Amino acid sequence: MKQTGGGDDAKRRAGESAADIPGDGDVVGLGTGSTAAHAIRELGERVDAGLDVRGIPTSFQSRELAREAGIPLTSLDEAVPDVAIDGADEVAADGALIKGGGAAHAREKLVDSAAERFVVVADPTKESDRLSQPVPVEVLPDARAPVADAVRSAGGDPTLRAAERKDGPVVTDNGNLVLDCKFGTIDDPHGLARTLSATPGVVEHGLFVDLVDELHVGTDDGVDVTR
């Protein structure tokens, strides 16, 4: 069942709560989206106050925001994240996620799964019993048609994500396209994740299963933390 109580205040509470986690010397995976942005800004405030951390951005957007916030940056070539803080488009009761609303899920999965501790920040509207939002699938530009066929064979209905402000498709930070794939309620996220991962031309999909260590959900007056 979908929850009410979303909004930017709930996102801010969740982001600020997670931004309290990193300690001196930590490397922090910096997620993408409006909720993760609150965490990045709060972490920037803590850096201003003397906290010694380095960030690994998951997108162009989070890199720019981290720079503005004064967070020193590094990369997966140099360091392993102690903690990653990232948002989600849907959070199931078993902790499985759908991500990729910002088309950043390939690098998000890379950084979030590399982290010792993956913390998801969300507002209550993101919570549901079982995943049912469309699954974003990043594909190589040449793979759009064969991957769409494979998605249909797996019971899905793919739509090429269109850019909002100009004609043409969304192009990811990696130069690829995104198919938003409706599967209805997803009974077997593990199986679907395996099928999508095994499809040639798929760069990454937005199903994040068995990855979350901690969930911070901002509410009207606080933050619910579950582990």
- Least distance to ligand 5RP from the beta carbon of 50, Å? 28
Going by C-beta distance under 8 Å and a sequence separation of 6 or more, which residues neighbour residue 26?
A: 53, 54, 82, 83
- Asked if 86 and 102 count as a contact pair (C-beta separation under 8 A), the reply is no
- Asked if 58 and 65 count as a contact pair (C-beta separation under 8 A), the reply is no
- Least distance to ligand 5RP from the beta carbon of 85, Å? 10
- Least distance to ligand 5RP from the beta carbon of 161, Å? 11
Where in the sequence numbering do the catalytic residues fall? Answer: 108
Q: Cα–Cα distance between 160 and 170 in angstroms, integer?
A: 8
Comparison of 10 and 150: residue with beta carbon closer to ligand 5RP = 10
Q: Cα–Cα distance between 15 and 149 in angstroms, integer?
A: 38
Determine the distance from the C-alpha atom of residue 16 to the mean position of all C-alpha atoms in its chain, rounded to a whole number: 17
- Least distance to ligand 5RP from the beta carbon of 117, Å? 17
- Residues forming the site for ligand 5RP (CB under 6 A): 31-36, 86-89, 99-105, 108
Comparison of 103 and 143: residue with beta carbon closer to ligand 5RP = 103
Q: Please state the φ and ψ torsions of residue 195, each to the nearest 5 degrees.
A: -60, -45
Comparison of 99 and 144: residue with beta carbon closer to ligand 5RP = 99
Comparison of 21 and 146: residue with beta carbon closer to ligand 5RP = 21
- Least distance to ligand 5RP from the beta carbon of 217, Å? 12
Q: Cα–Cα distance between 98 and 18 in angstroms, integer?
A: 19
C-beta atoms surrounding 100 within 10 Å? 30
Comparison of 26 and 86: residue with beta carbon closer to ligand 5RP = 86
